[in-house]
Amino acid sequence: MLQSIPLKNIEIQNPFWNEYLDLVHKEIIPYQWDAMNDRIPGAEPSHCIENYRIAAGQAEGKFYGFVFQDSDLAKWLEAVAYVLSSRPDPELEKLADEAIDLVCAAQQPDGYLNTYYTLNAPHQRWRNLREGHELYCAGHIMEAAVAYYEATGKRKLLHSMMRFADLICDTFGPEEGKIHAYPGHEEVELALYKMYKATGEQRYLDMASYFIDIRGVDKDYYHRENDEPDFMPIWGYLSKDFDISYYQAHQSVREQKKAAGHAVRATYLYSAMADLAGETGDESLLEACRTLWDNITKKQMYVTGGIGSSGILERFSTDYDLSNEVAYAESCASIGLMLFGLRMNHITRNAEYFDAVERALYNTVLASVSRDGKRFFYVNPLEVWPEACMPNTSKQHVKPVRQPWFSCACCPPNIARTFASLGQYIWAQDQNCLYLNLFIGSTVKTKNGAYVTLRTKFPVENTMEIIGDKAIKMAVRIPDYAYNFTAGVTYHVKDGYAVFDLEANKPVMISFEAPSRFIRANPEVRANAGKVCIQRGPMVYCFEQIDNGANLSALSVNTSSPLVDVESDIPGGIMITASGKRCKPWAKDKLYSENVPEYEEVVLRAVPYAFWGNRGSGEMLVWIREAVQ
């Protein structure tokens, strides 16, 4: 099994990505701290920090926000930990220590930590697992504790979360007198595994396994919970007969063949399943992970790496249901897909998992944040007509511009922790070999003490130099979009990797072609019949109103004419032009007519989807009709 390399042993040296790492460190983290302290004018209020202060007895007031509001601070702390791993910053560390002091002060004497229940309903603990998010919030703060310990060596938050994990282990399980149930929103399973790896406590691994194994076995638990006379509902629109596939609880996890329900919950569950399969050698669990991965990436994933198409309840719908204008594709769901793919790659040593990881990263996840780090997308559609994104319509979830914050702010700190932990996606290693999965310029220190450097201008250019100060075996991923891959040395291909011996102080030059090209969807994807999109390397391109005029739906592209890469000052550096046609407008007083369409020749201009909406509000389109010849 592959292992991630500690972030402190990776130094990223890449113009494209260093911009984002600087953004996380200097802009996103300070901005999000201000947001959680309600210091951003015009932004949705958070009250997250104030909730902790009230629960800690340092302020008076009432809880405000969603039941999972605690998790925003947890993900922010995790992002800070990843930044500190490679970028020492005493002032930031001091701020994080103060936040940790606040978290620990809000913790109850028995180890319990949840400001919603502490302030609102202290006698309702663990009484509404379906909706309560207690275990979800617990998981995120545990992940932060492990990350902060690994980054700084400080154990205060880790000790605090060990007390919380012990309480969970004493509360749940198969033994008589314990609660025989599982969380409505998965997350704690991932965290308990990390706690086990950090502390060596077997009971944390056993608890994670229990939550996985019991899921979907007792299908009536949530119904019985709902029937209790003192049951306290949180979401009023959920009945006791609500479809439990939303919680991935309709079958045992080993029986599930199709990704179902809330997309973030699902990918967090699948990631935890992969963790346990890799740790325990459970082949049936691993096979379930393979099946679910294939269903997502081959039948339910947008070309941008977005998943979870339904705007109602943020969920998977049915195979090939990938509408563009009403796509949900929550930012957190693509991050969950990245987490799942990372684990599957580490277990199988198969490069194919990183094709989807890279697709999600370079498209949906990158698109989720503005270039200044102070605006965010929660939903990531593939087509936007701003005037139609109206409240109380099927497109009310679509925001044509990034938002300064959200009342449900799960995505912004999740984006921060993902960018801050980027190094774990670039490199991996086992006892014999160093694996390169993403082409991001960096220097890595391996477990045998070798320093290996990757130099590249990817994704603008597809050449790279690898050099190390000691001999080491290398495995370089051959991406699915690469043509004419060459390594300059003798190599063999294994599971999607070019494997070769890297000699000490002797550079190896890697190159491949990744030209701009037209991509078509499987005809089963009804929304994209007769349409194409443009992709260059891992980056999907889109058309914006600022470059192509209004009513993008009136455009079509001539796929028999070549695409042309044009150097540009737009983000990403490359604009793509294509020959196309525009259907001429009709007279304004006609809605329907027998008119034969008339077309004019136009030059179409496409920009990376990752950067759409950074030059003002307007229409956007990924999939475009093929021109009638």
Query: Comparing C-alpha atoms, which of 260, 302, 371 is closest to residue 542?
Result: 302
Any idea what the Cα angle at residue 271 is, between residues 266 and 275, rounded to 5°? 145
Q: How far apart are CA 265 and CA 106, in angstroms?
A: 26
SS3 state of residue 508: strand
Q: Give DSSP secondary structure letters for 431-495.
A: SSEEEE-S---EEEE-TTS-EEEEEE-TTT--EEEEEESS-EEEEEE--TT-EEEE-SS--EEET
Q: Using CB atoms within 10 A of its CB, is residue 276 exposed (0-12), middle (13-18) or buried (19+)? A: buried
- Write down the H helix ranges in 62-129: 70-86, 90-106, 115-120
Pick left, alpha or beta for residue 558 (phi over 0 → left; psi -120 to 50 → alpha; otherwise beta).
Answer: beta
What φ, ψ does residue 533 adopt, rounded to 5°?
A: -130, 175
Beta carbons of 301 and 380 less than 8 angstroms apart: no
Query: Comparing C-alpha atoms, which of 497, 413, 510, 403 is closest to residue 453?
Result: 510
Beta carbons of 594 and 559 less than 8 angstroms apart: no
SS3 state of residue 502: strand
Structure-token pair, residue 41: 């004018």
Q: Which residue(s) pair with 536 in the sheet?
A: 539
SS3 state of residue 576: strand
Beta carbons of 324 and 527 less than 8 angstroms apart: yes
Beta carbons of 49 and 102 less than 8 angstroms apart: yes
Beta carbons of 270 and 289 less than 8 angstroms apart: yes
Pick the catalytic residue from 137, 332, 389, 410: 410
Pick the catalytic residue from 314, 325, 352, 383: 314
Pick left, alpha or beta for residue 177 (phi over 0 → left; psi -120 to 50 → alpha; otherwise beta).
Answer: left
- Write down the H helix ranges in 132-262: 134-152, 156-171, 188-199, 202-214, 221-227
Known active-site residue 314: yes
Known active-site residue 137: no
Active-site residue numbers?
Answer: 314, 410
